[in-house]
Every structure is written in structure tokens, then in C-alpha cells.
Amino acid sequence: MREFPSCSSSKAMILNIVVMSTVVMMGSTASGWFLKPDFYKSTCPNVFSTVYSGVKSAIANENRIGASILRLHFHDCFVQGCDASVLLNDTSTFRGEQGALPNGGIRGLNIIDNIKSEVEAICPGVVSCADILTIAARDSVSILGGPTWQVKVGRRDSRTASLAIANATIPLGSSDLPNLIRRFADVGLSTKDMVVLSGAHTIGQARCATFRARIYNETNIDPSFARSRQANCPQTGNQGVGNLAPLDLQTPTRWDNNYYINLLARKGLLHSDQVLYNGASTDSLVESYSKNSKAFNADFVAAMIRMGDITPIVEPSRGEIRKNCRRIN
């Protein structure tokens, strides 16, 4: 999610389930429509303050929700761009993305619904759900102690969603390093982007089902850390699979660089976390961010802006401004 006004070339990718073309436009299109921070300056000048107020209220009620909103934005952008497709419920013509395996435990949709209602009350039919989710992700990071940045807006909402593409493109907690690198590259993001965006796991929690294979079977894990997580996560069976553990065992509700410090100590909760520091090409980045929180924040902002620029729907003919984020107009 970054804000650099340049265009990158179209990139074709072949997936196991689908064949699709992903174009990373960096916020602009050949038609002349483009994203910009002041897109709503005259049509909805209070959109940013309205979204911020809604996110702040939601986090005050439950601080975990900030991480959930950030995850929602990540998973939206990985499926044909940041177009709010993840918010669409299933219909008779397509199965939505919420039921995809990588979206297990997805949360925060009701918060976006509430904010959308507030925005519609002041600017009916003007601001897209995609923009609201992108702004809310930024505000979640900022409210929890992280950096802030200008969010480019002007996206329109998609008219469809894809369960198949969601399953094929969103990284899993069980992903190995080559798989992570490939999936980020498929949407135009670099290995460095992947490592720094993974740092979002400095906030939030994960379900036992996503990390129990690691805490019982893997060797690149601190033994005492593994035992502490096993106490609330059974090795087999369905009971307890939804039990939660913090992704950052030190400060799970405060934005900082402890995520990387944990990896150095072999205390990454997910397999996809610890593979970033396991004797491979990304070790040096993890070491760097563990020592330099300013560099982490600066690079995170740049990567977030870049991610927010993935395949935007900006032309009116290609998308819509949904009245209700859960269904097309």
C-alpha cells in the first residue's frame, strides 16, 4: 500500500486453479483515471475523519479488531487488487472470498459496514467500500502506535468475487519461503515487501488450527515457547482449534518491531513467520528490522502504498460505488 505515482508493466501469472492476468498499475490507468489523496476533496471532504472515528471507536471497544481490519485489507488486495471483493457475500452467481481457506477466522466486516453507513450518511453514493477499507487499514496501524501515511483514494468496488482466486493467491500460515516470495511476486510485490508486510504480525492473534503443526512438529522453535503455546492448543482433534495466541508474544496490541526480535529467538508463531529467519535469503532483512524500528516503519509504509496500488478499479465503467459493502448494487 504505497503512494508512488508510477506505472509498472502488466504481469501474467499462471495459477494452479486459474489463469489470470494481474496488472500492477501503481495507481493509474491508460484511460487517465488515477488514485490521489485528495480525490474526495470536494465530494466528501470529511471521509477521512469519519473513517478514523469509526476505527478508533472499534479499537477502543476491542483492540484486536485493528489487526483484523488490516488483515482484511491485505487479503482483499491479493485477489485481483484492492477492490473490496472480500466484503461481498455469496450469491447465486458466485461464491465469495470469505469462505476461502486463507480467510479462515476473517473478522472486521461489520466494522467496515458501520463505517460505510456513517460515510453514506454524509456523502451518499460517493465513497467506495474499497477506499473505506484501505483508509481503515492505515488508521488501524496508526491508532495502535504505528506510522501513518497519505492514502490515495478513488477506487471503485468490484462487481464480483472469486473463491478460487482467493484460495490460489493469498498466502497461508503454512507457506514456505519460496511460496511466499512467489505469491507476493505474482501481485507485483518484492521479497523485501513480503518481509516488511509480514511485520504486520506485530499485532493480532492466530487460531490454534493455523499454528499447531509448528508448535508440535517443527525443530526451529524455542522449546519453552512451543510448550507455552501447546498448553492452549491441542495437537489433534477439533476441540480447541479456535483457541487464540498472540502473533507477537511481547506486545500483541501495540505496533513495534518485536515481531522480528521474536523471529531471532525462534519464537515466530506461524510457520510462514519463522521461515523468514531460518538460514535463507531473508535473514538479513529480519535482522535489520529487529534493530531498526524506524527503517521497519518507513519500509512498511512504502510497501502498504505499493500494495494499495495493485490493479485499482478506477474507471466508472469497470466498477461501482456499492451502497452496501456486502452486495453489488
SS3 of residue 232 by DSSP? coil
109-122 helix and 65-77 helix, angle to the nearest 10 degrees: 80
- Residues forming the active site: 75
> Quick check: 194 and 202 in contact, CB under 8 A?
no
Residue 175 CB partners (closer than 8 Å, separation 6+): 183, 271, 272, 275
Residues 46 and 118: beta-carbon distance below 8 Å: no
Which DSSP string corresponds to 275-288? Answer: TTSSSSTTHHHHHH
